[in-house]
Amino acid sequence: MAFDDHLRITGSALKSWAIAQIQDSLAVGALWLAGLYFLHIPFYPLWAVLAALLQIVPHLGPVLSLLGPVFTAVVTFRDWRHPASVLALYAIIVVVDGFLLQPYIMRRTAKVPVWASILAPIVLGIVWPFWGVLAAAPLLAVLYAYKAHLLKSHE
């Protein structure tokens, strides 16, 4: 296989992964928008847009997206129920995104099976802490692109 073939396969896989990341960010932003609207948190569109933008940063981004709405809930309502509701919303969004949205979008866009998109970040996170989790999704996209290319060339 020529070098330009490797570049084409890798570039195409990374493009698919980037599209999947953007779709996931938009979905998470929409979940934040709906949830914060329902909870009557002030500036909810701002917090939803920030959550969508920060979703691209693995692990740290989603946590950072939580700070604004919780602080706003504390200052605005001066009770424990509203900040606790924002924390519960965050937990729901993390579970829905991690176990449903990301695996589904990666399978559909980057042709990565659901089981691999759940298992790879865990395994790579143990083997190579932080960086393994960060690199898991693009590596999976590239590996499955090469797998598809090899299967196609053997037909």
Number of domains in the chain: 1
The DSSP line for 5-64 is HHHHHHHHHHHHHHHHHHHHHHHHHHHHHHHHHHTT-TTHHHHHHHHHHHTTSTTHHHHH
pTM of the model: 0.85
What are the Cα distances from residue 47, in Å, to 29, 64, 70, 96, 102? Answer: 8, 10, 10, 18, 21
Q: Is residue 20 in some structural domain?
A: no
Q: Is residue 57 in some structural domain?
A: yes
pLDDT higher at 53 or 17: 53
Q: Is residue 112 in some structural domain?
A: yes
101-146 pLDDT tens trace: 988 888 888 788 888 888 898 899 999 998 898 899 899 999 999 9
Q: Is residue 8 in some structural domain?
A: no
Full residue range of the structural domain in which residue 127 is found? 27-153
How sure is the predictor about 1, in pLDDT bands with cuts at 50, 70 and 90?
confident
